[in-house]
Structure 1
Amino acid sequence: MIIQHIAAFTDGPTGGNPAGVVICEALPDAATMQAMAAEIGYSETAFAAPVDGAWRVRYFAPEAEVDFCGHATIALGAALARHERSGTFALKLNHADITVDGHHSATDWSASFRSPPTQTRSLSSAALDETLALFALSPDDLDPRIPPIVAHAGMDHPVIALRDRNRLGAVSYDFGRGQELAQRERFCTFALVHAETPQLFHARNPFPFGGVYEDPATGAAAAALAGYLRELAWPAQEPIVIRQGEDMGVPCCLRVDLDGPVGAPVRVSGSVRLIGADAQPV
């Protein structure tokens, strides 16, 4: 069993969202993986084992299993490239089969994944009202170009687009209320975003569902947002750049391509670096 600590979606040599990556000959039982994820302590840890020419992958937050995690997938793809070869790796998730491309060289360590299929569903007026109240937002704070919706690319993320960057930066919430809402509605993260330009977004992703106040980089939410923007025929040249984690002091950069028809997977890319005791020349 190989346990690695990798920051995904780094901003040059700094920042990035920490993920645990555990590569095994066979996956441990769920209780063991949950306990290991809690001990590792990151927002998610990816567990992977080879099976039938692919990799069986499960993701655990400190308090719950999640069906898909983007930044841990980036970390896993980069880890496989480093330890095996650069190339494309097939991943078998709980409810989807996807691929991740990992690249490792003397000058570049990065990965990109093709998300599960994207889709949206309406956000009920009651859930919207409760979400706005949670973050002390009003309907006047919302960007009318991107109406609130639940976007999905492996997990559900309510998308709340704000007119003002400063309002996004000032967001805070009561963790207990947020966790109760997220667990009741099965919201993986709350995708709070601001479109500075059609191609540049700023994002914050509270993650009380998994026991984490806020996630500094969220590839699954980025994929879900991109799928929604594609439905809206959003006027951007690709790729879209999402800046996240800056309000936490952990700058992260995610790149998302909008190619393909509505509902198709989207490609999410980012660089990585080793952290903690693992940090050494690669």
Structure 2
Amino acid sequence: MVDAPEILRYSAFAATPEGGNPAGVVLDARGLSEQDMLRIAAEVGYSETAFVMGQAADAAVPRYRVRYWSPAAEVPFCGHATVATAVALAERVGAGPLIFDTNAGPVALDTAEQDGSVEVSFTSVEPEVREIDGVVLDQLLQTLSLTRSDLDPRFPPREAFAGNWHPVLVLADRELFHQFRFPPAEVAALMRAQGWLGTVTVLHATGAAEFMARNLFPVGRITEDPATGSAAASVGAYLRELAYPEQSVRIHQGAHVGRPSLLAVEIPATGGITVSGGATRL
């Protein structure tokens, strides 16, 4: 009989005291089965809960095996739960570099203490960007009550990967970005059919290096995610693929669900995309 694990709760990427994306963290998940982790994630009820399965012995940099579960299924990677887990570890063993071995691959992190809190930067796995099949794109747009003419012509739609695959749409009109509605069950069905285990990422450019984001996550039984680190990394990969001139951008998210969030994204010329933020204990 495995003892019930301690479940920590953090909010990551908060832009205001009431903002950010809540994540569950289990620092000692050794002995938990997949059924246990799915049950715990469903009981916690956040978009994701991270489970630390163990620490590698004799690694030059502290290295942990981490798995992520939504209330509905396991996901390969979760950015905000990664930040929450890194903060939880730093609070216990001190700040410094870390490596998380995830189902998407190894993720390098840096943690640093700043003014009494812990700031985290993680660098994604090697990203990929590909075109969205035209039929699938039209189906997605129709499900969101959008058309191709609603898209910003500067930003063609793509699928981007930095741990999870995310379709990325950029809307030209600010009001439409704020007001569009969608049927969660239909969007979830399309996401499952396409293997989109992360979010549907909808953006609006508000400046040269500023974007607003809505990340739809009904496949994880969350209508909209307040802050999505894997999507932010995927957006960085998407912008690099388009030869976007800015090497760092800020993504504002969560206002539509009452949890304002801010994600800082660094876009190097090659390699993984770096996303930064903090997390506070709930």
Unaligned runs of 5+ in 1: 276-282
Aligned equivalents of 1:6 and 1:148: distance in 2? 33
* Cα distance change, pair 107–239 in 1 and its aligned pair in 2 (3 A): farther
User: 1:265 aligns to what?
Assistant: 272
**1:215 and 1:47 mapped to 2: Cα distance?**
20
Residue aligning to 2:117: 108
The whole-number CA distance in structure 2 between the counterparts of 1:191 and 1:27 is 35
Q: In structure 2, what is the equivalent of residue 147 of structure 1?
A: 156
1:6-55 deviation per Cα after TM superposition (whole angstroms, max 9, x unaligned): 00001143300000011006251111000000000000000013332411
Does 2:136 align with 1:127? yes
One-letter amino acid of the structure 2 residue matched with residue 232 of structure 1:
L
Judge which range, 101-110 or 179-188, deviates more. 101-110
Aligned to 1:41: 45
**Range 73-82 or range 100-109, more displaced:** 100-109
Identify the match of residue 92 of structure 2 among 83, 86, 100.
Answer: 83
CA deviation digits over 1:217-248, x for unaligned, max 9? 00000100101101111122x42100000122
Structure 1 length-normalised TM: 0.93
Q: Contact 1:5–1:19 (CA<8 Å) still a contact in 2?
A: yes
- Contact 2:53–2:67, Cα closer than 8 Å, also in 1: no
Quote the Cα distance in structure 1 between the aligned partners of 2:171 and 2:273.
23
User: Which of 26, 50, 57 pairs up with 1:22?
Assistant: 26
Q: Which residue in 2 is equivalent to 1:245? A: 254
Q: 3-state DSSP class of the match of 1:42?
A: coil
The answer to whether the Cα contact below 8 Å between 1:77 and 1:112 also exists between their aligned partners in 2 is no
Could you tell me the percent identity over the aligned residues?
Answer: 39
Q: How high is the TM-score relative to the length of structure 2? A: 0.93
Distance of 1:13 and 1:248 partners within structure 2? 14
Give the letter for the 2:227 counterpart: A
1:272 corresponds to which letter in structure 2? A
Shift of 1:266: 0.8
Count of aligned positions: 272
Structure 1 distance, partners of 2:157, 2:96, is 37
In 2, Cα distance between equivalents of 1:255 and 1:113: 11
SS at match of 1:74: helix
Structure 2 residue 201 is matched with structure 1 residue 191? yes
Q: 2:82 aligns with which of 62, 73, 77?
A: 73
**Contact 1:82–1:104 at 8 Å: present in 2 too?**
no
2:239 maps to 229
Of the structure 1 ranges 84-93 and 47-56, higher mean CA displacement relative to structure 2 is found in 47-56
* C-alpha distance in 2 between matches for 1:39 and 1:104: 31
Q: For the Cα contact (< 8 Å) 2:16–2:260, is it kept in 1?
A: no
The residue type equivalent to 2:228 in the other structure is T
Q: Does 1:213 align with 2:223?
A: yes
Contact 2:12–2:84, Cα closer than 8 Å, also in 1:
yes
- What's the CA shift string for 1:169-217, capped at 9, x where partnerless? 1122111101110100011210000111120000000012212111010
Aligned partners of 2:175, 2:202: CA distance in 1, in Å?
12
Quickly say closer, same or farther: Cα 1:228–1:27, change in 2 above 3 A: farther
| C-alpha distance in 2 between matches for 1:103 and 1:12 | 20
Q: Quick one: distance in 2 between partners of 1:149 and 1:167?
A: 20
Q: What is the CA–CA distance in structure 2 between the aligned matches of 1:103 and 1:40, rounded to whole Å?
A: 28
CA RMSD, 1 decimal: 1.3
